Structure 1
Amino acid sequence: MSNPAPAEAPTGAGTAPVPHRDTEEPAFPAAADRSQWRYRPRRAFWRSRVVRAVAVVTVLAICALFILGLVREQTGTEGFLVGLGLAVLPVPLLMAAFRWLDRVEPGPWKNLLFAFAWGAFAAALVAILANSFAVRWIATATADPDSADTLGATVIAPVVEESAKAAAILLLFLFRRKHFGGLVDGVVIAGFTATGFAFTENILYLGNAFGEDQEFGSTGLGSVTAATFFVRVVMSPFAHPLFTVLTGIGFGFAALAPRGKRLRRVLLPLAGLLLAMGLHAAWNGSATFGGPLAFYAVYGALMVPAFGLLTWLAVWSRQRELRTISGELPAYAAAGWLSPAEPTALSSMRARQVARAFAARTYGPAAARAVGEYESFATTLAFLRDRARRGTAGPDFPAREQELLHHLWQRREVASPALTYAARATGRVWAPPQYLDYDGYNPYRR
């Protein structure tokens, strides 16, 4: 039995060779346990993931206690509860929308939950403290509180809030680089961060509006609470995500830049952050200076087209990911690791779903989970190879590639037939007539 030739580590743009499987079984042992993976260096205790996770959770929990205490102090307990109940309504919809964009290669939930918690607690706390301090300082220096409030809303708030939200994207870009591979990752992480920030901000605005209604006895559709809910939750739930997504796109382009282009990897996120600040300032300024007419004019002329453009870009990026899969995996099919139909099935979200359903119906839930894991590992392998082509995979590319091939090989007996069936059932490859049986497989036989 001959050993498969290991791939050389890519040193720049180009394509690394694929280890060829020319035997019945690979010449490497079964994949080691996750804690024993060879390419992952061992860390000192204080650098372990458990210690870091506990530290991050502790910091976010402290921020949550402070920010929620400040909001409750400003709105009152009753206003806080009303604001909380109304502010939570758009959150599941926004999270589901961003998660849908991330279906091709889903990022870990722990990263997304960190982004949401950072936006809701840490970024919101920094924003409320920094904005309040800046407005008070300007009011004291200029002896003009009205101008200080205007300047705070149109200049200070966009700079402070977008910078605070961008910190979450930066942290994940630096410390979870393996899961930050391109535009879609930047959009999704930015969307979750901004959704968390808007959630806390909406509690404050809706709670204050409810307190004002209680003071003046306003009720029904004419109340300040109803008007605030309509503007912030119905009309513009995507406002904060739209601003911060521009920062996420900058980080996404930086993730695609080759490792040697350090200046590009710094300037692109900064450009995205500046665009986010500018759009945020235009949004705030329309309501501050022009009144309702200017607000609706900016909403229709700027926000709606920008939202449509960014939505198109996000969907296009998702389709680009599927094209990456269909372009990179055939090399592994040619080397014998995948069947010829698998790259085609793996590049279709519908075919993936059909494969999991077929496995569940034929072999049970455990088989469906194995097919889902196979799809995930194959997708990661395709993106890893794409990064190797662009020179951004890193020196551990051969070990990571071999490890992913380990995982695929362990699940091939269930996943390969299911994906072949899905490719034929969805019409992505030619299906033989039902009276024929190729290689012991017939797509019409259940």
Structure 2
Amino acid sequence: MTTPPPYPTHDPGAHAGTGFGAGTSIRAGTAVRAGTGRPHWWQRRLVRVIALVTLLALSGLVILALVRQQTGTEGFLVGLGLAVLPVPLLIAAFRWLDRVEPGPWRNLIFSFAWGACAAALIAIVANSFATRWIATATADPTGADTLGATVIAPIVEESAKAAAILLIFLFRRRDFTGIVDGVVIAGITATGFAFTENILYLGTAFGTDQLSGDRGLASVTVATFFVRVVMSPFAHPLFTVLTGIGFGIAALSADRQRMRRVLLPITGLLLAMGTHALWNGSSTLGDFGFLAVYGVFMVPAFGLLTWLVIWTRQRELRTVRAELPAYAAAGWLTPAEPFALGSMRARRLARAYATRTQGKAAARAVAEYEAYATSLAFLRHRALRGRAGADFAVRERELLGALWSRRDAARPALTHAAQTTAPRVPLWALPQQWQGPQRYGPHPPPHEPYGQAAQPYATPQPHPYGNPHPYPGYNPYQT
């Protein structure tokens, strides 16, 4: 059996202030009892999971009872059937954005459940209480409803949704590494919130039609469905994504930049509240005011944020292509893999090839290999900029071990994908350490240890591209 190359002994982030070498094992954020070395009972994973599941389950039961009470059983079923229609499309869209480094499904399930249960329950209770208090204090029910919709609701709802992002940011820090992660978590949370809210609005509209003597889906239900599901299914995700972007930029900041890491999420939350208030306030401006806000602000803002997220995803792929050649030079990856892993088309071809030649289990191993390799590239990228956590060395070893255990299934598939997409990669775009046999010959050395001065790992070259390849016959995709 082939033995893996030596594990890295040089921490690329040591010069940037992390100062932790190989073998350091520190679990960030876990307090231990003095003299035992074990975490407190309330920080044990099982305790946290049970508490979280219990909280979400109770919130779900309460919100179910409240919505059913306001809409009636028939209205609840109609609202549920109509509200569920945009959910698969929104989840698929956010999952597509997360394809470079897919986050674990448990985070997405938690986010959706928090938005649909906990955040919705907080919003319904707090909004109702605030609106009644304002109506009692001012003796103006109409003004209380307007103030509640434009001021109270945005503050309460965006804060409740932001709590899910904060929890994942604090307790699942490994899975929260940048802007795309913030956008996806925020978007899924808001999708769950909008799902519950749409059940309430559509069920209430159906009840209104029934009281007016209409049968079936009449005018109020159709109008509500068109505005909330057809025209603006992205409204709540758009607001909360601004909070997610704030957390995402904070995740890219170094630990020593404490003020930046606090202010950026708060700024994103304030922007989310402001856009939410503008959207709710447009309903008080009449039909033309609503359409003006929708056309002049909402649609361009949605387009701008979509462009930002896609651009960020392409930037992540460039990071993969720039950081992984160091591990290929040390023998952990083949020369072809950094280019295949930096292309979504090549990744898709690799999974299809594995399915066709080795079956679904191999394709699953290739998908896991791609995810681990991407996490490894991002980890090294953060370390080179002084943003890696205290457990950098341990995490790097874990990822390298995960890649090595899946190499038999992944390498043939990725090599095939690289060869298939090779015409799309110009020869001049090869890293300099592969440009000719002066040092390495036709292939990088398989077992040279990290830490030597001549190695790319010890002397990082983020993107040393630009010189034409001196050997036209050399194909980096042949392994």
Report the Cα distance in structure 1 between the residues aligned to 2:25 and 2:258, rounded to whole angstroms: 29
- 1:356 aligned onto 2:342: no
Question: How many angstroms does 1:16 deviate by?
Answer: 9.8
State the Cα deviation string for residues 301-344 of structure 1 (Å, max 9, x = none). 00000000011011111111111101110111122211111100
Counterpart position of 2:114: 118
1:360-379 paired onto structure 2 within 5 Å: 360-379=355-374
State the Cα deviation string for residues 134-192 of structure 1 (Å, max 9, x = none). 11111111111111111111111111111111111111111111100010000000001
Q: Do 1:39 and 1:400's aligned partners in 2 also have CA atoms closer than 8 Å?
A: no
Q: Do 1:16 and 1:389's aligned partners in 2 also have CA atoms closer than 8 Å?
A: no
- 2:393 is aligned with what amino acid? P
State the Cα deviation string for residues 29-86 of structure 1 (Å, max 9, x = none). xxxxxxxx97668645543222211110100011111111111111111111111111
**Paired residue secondary structure (2:256):** coil
Report the Cα distance in structure 1 between the residues aligned to 2:409 and 2:214, rounded to whole angstroms: 63
Counterpart position of 1:201: 197
Counterpart position of 2:405: 410
Q: Do 1:388 and 1:397's aligned partners in 2 also have CA atoms closer than 8 Å?
A: yes
- 1:187 aligned onto 2:183: yes
Q: Do 2:11 and 2:21's aligned partners in 1 also have CA atoms closer than 8 Å?
A: no
Counterpart position of 1:401: 396
Counterpart position of 2:382: 387
Q: 1:38 to 1:267 in 2, by over 3 A?
A: closer
- 1:296 aligned onto 2:299: no
- Uncovered stretches (5+) of structure 2, i.e. residues with no partner: 31-37, 428-472
Report the Cα distance in structure 2 between the residues aligned to 1:203 and 1:366, rounded to whole angstroms: 39
1:208-357 paired onto structure 2 within 5 Å: 208-218=204-214, 223-288=219-284, 290-357=285-352
Q: Do 1:9 and 1:16's aligned partners in 2 also have CA atoms closer than 8 Å?
A: no
Report the Cα distance in structure 1 between the residues aligned to 2:356 and 2:244, rounded to whole angstroms: 40
Question: How many angstroms does 1:412 deviate by?
Answer: 2.1
- 1:59 is aligned with what amino acid? L
- 2:165 is aligned with what amino acid? I
State the Cα deviation string for residues 69-124 of structure 1 (Å, max 9, x = none). 11111111111111111111111110110010001111111111111111111111
State the Cα deviation string for residues 280-317 of structure 1 (Å, max 9, x = none). 111111102x1111000100000000000011011111
Question: How many angstroms does 1:12 deviate by?
Answer: 6.0
Q: Do 2:206 and 2:217's aligned partners in 1 also have CA atoms closer than 8 Å?
A: no
Q: 1:194 to 1:230 in 2, by over 3 A?
A: same
Report the Cα distance in structure 1 between the residues aligned to 2:311 and 2:8, rounded to whole angstroms: 36
- 1:95 aligned onto 2:98: no
Counterpart position of 1:419: 414
Aligned residue pairs: how many? 420
1:73-92 paired onto structure 2 within 5 Å: 73-92=69-88
**Paired residue secondary structure (2:406):** helix
Q: 1:103 to 1:4 in 2, by over 3 A?
A: closer
- 1:78 is aligned with what amino acid? E
Report the Cα distance in structure 2 between the residues aligned to 1:214 and 1:423, rounded to whole angstroms: 61
Query: How well do the aligned residues superpose, as a CA RMSD in angstroms?
Result: 2.7
- 2:389 is aligned with what amino acid? G
Question: How many angstroms does 1:14 deviate by?
Answer: 8.4
Counterpart position of 2:128: 132
Counterpart position of 1:8: 11
Q: 1:58 to 1:4 in 2, by over 3 A?
A: closer
Q: Do 1:98 and 1:192's aligned partners in 2 also have CA atoms closer than 8 Å?
A: yes
State the Cα deviation string for residues 250-309 of structure 1 (Å, max 9, x = none). 111111111111101111111111111111111111102x11110001000000000000
Q: 1:438 to 1:296 in 2, by over 3 A?
A: closer
Shifted more, 343-352 versus 330-339: the winner is 330-339
Question: How many angstroms does 1:413 deviate by?
Answer: 2.9
Counterpart position of 1:32: none
Q: Do 1:250 and 1:272's aligned partners in 2 also have CA atoms closer than 8 Å?
A: yes
Using structure 2 for the length normalisation, give the TM-score. Answer: 0.82
More helix by share: 1
**Paired residue secondary structure (1:426):** helix
Counterpart position of 1:33: none
Q: 1:13 to 1:211 in 2, by over 3 A?
A: same
- 1:155 aligned onto 2:151: yes
Q: Do 2:14 and 2:21's aligned partners in 1 also have CA atoms closer than 8 Å?
A: no
- Uncovered stretches (5+) of structure 1, i.e. residues with no partner: 20-27, 29-36, 432-436
Q: 1:176 to 1:291 in 2, by over 3 A?
A: same
Report the Cα distance in structure 1 between the residues aligned to 2:145 and 2:345, rounded to whole angstroms: 52
- 1:419 is aligned with what amino acid? L
State the Cα deviation string for residues 194-232 of structure 1 (Å, max 9, x = none). 001101111111011000100112357761000000000
Q: Do 1:220 and 1:226's aligned partners in 2 also have CA atoms closer than 8 Å?
A: no
Counterpart position of 1:24: none
Report the Cα distance in structure 2 between the residues aligned to 1:442 and 1:376, rounded to whole angstroms: 23
- 2:161 is aligned with what amino acid? K
Report the Cα distance in structure 2 between the residues aligned to 1:15 and 1:425, rounded to whole angstroms: 40
Counterpart position of 1:109: 105
**Paired residue secondary structure (1:340):** coil
Q: 1:43 to 1:233 in 2, by over 3 A?
A: same
Report the Cα distance in structure 2 between the residues aligned to 1:4 and 1:85, rounded to whole angstroms: 54
Question: How many angstroms does 1:415 deviate by?
Answer: 1.8
Q: 1:423 to 1:147 in 2, by over 3 A?
A: same
- 2:377 is aligned with what amino acid? A
